Amino acid sequence: MKFGMAIDVTRCIGCHTCAVACKMSNNLPEEVWWNNIRSDGGEAPDTARGEYPGNLEMNYYPVNCQHCENPACVDVCPTGASFKREDGIVSVDVDTCIGCASCIAACPYNVRVLYDKEPTFSMDFAVGDYDAPEHKQATVGKCTGCANRIDRGEVPACMDLCPARARFWGDLDDPNSDVSKFLAGKQTVRLLENAGTEPNVHYVK
């Protein structure tokens, strides 16, 4: 069993539906995003790359925890709070995490957040899933693969419905999973492949 995701970059329109679904379902604090939509043209959202008119590109890469095969974050965690589940999901145990941020330094993908202050929320009640992860000061937060949802048979929030039908997930070891079927025969890109982390999020261009 190996949890993995695939994103069809040719279909992704950078609408942020997956990012907001994550924000809602996981009751994320203010300014915290576990799934970030990056424009490859520049830092400003929706920036194109190239020369008008004939040589232009505009692409998006939704980037969340890559649920790596060799997660650098797990290696460096001094308390074992960062761990990899048997299904491949990389997660953080908030009760063990001491907020030392070693994992943030080790992770090449910049997808972890240190709650260095008491997290604040734009809503004054908890939204999303009743069992959304706890966001505790002095711990590190990150994409949990929506383990809480998966464990009760639901799909990760970001995979619930992509308007562009650009997102796929499932067991990469199972050739019949949605993600394996989508990836079969396709050339893929993984972020920072030379970092040795063996990410399990595949991008198809």
Identify residues 134-173 at the interface with other proteins (CB under 8 A): 134-135, 144, 147-148, 151, 160-161, 163-165, 172-173
- Dist. CA 87–CA 201, nearest whole Å: 14
Report, in Å, the least distance between residue 118 CB and other proteins. Answer: 8
Site string for other proteins, 15-34 (x = CB under 8 A): xxx-xxx-xxx-x-xxxxxx
Report, in Å, the least distance between residue 39 CB and other proteins. Answer: 6
Bond into 53 cis (ω within 30): yes
Q: Give the DSSP H/E element, type plus range, for residue 73.
A: helix 72-76
- Dist. CA 5–CA 190, nearest whole Å: 11
- Dist. CA 23–CA 30, nearest whole Å: 9
79 near other proteins (CB under 8 A): no
- Dist. CA 21–CA 47, nearest whole Å: 23
Per the structure block, which two tokens stand in for 129? 């899933």
Binds other proteins by CB under 8 A, chosen from 78, 98, 105, 192: 192
113 near other proteins (CB under 8 A): yes
106 near other proteins (CB under 8 A): no
126 near other proteins (CB under 8 A): yes
Binds other proteins by CB under 8 A, chosen from 78, 98, 105, 123: 123
- How many other β-carbons are positioned within 10 Å of the β-carbon of residue 162? 20
70 near other proteins (CB under 8 A): yes
110 near other proteins (CB under 8 A): yes
Count of positions on this chain that bind other proteins (CB under 8 A): 120
Report, in Å, the least distance between residue 64 CB and other proteins. Answer: 9
Binds other proteins by CB under 8 A, chosen from 83, 156, 159, 178: 83
Strands 201-204 and 3-8: parallel
Q: Are 55 and 36 in contact (CB under 8 A)?
A: no
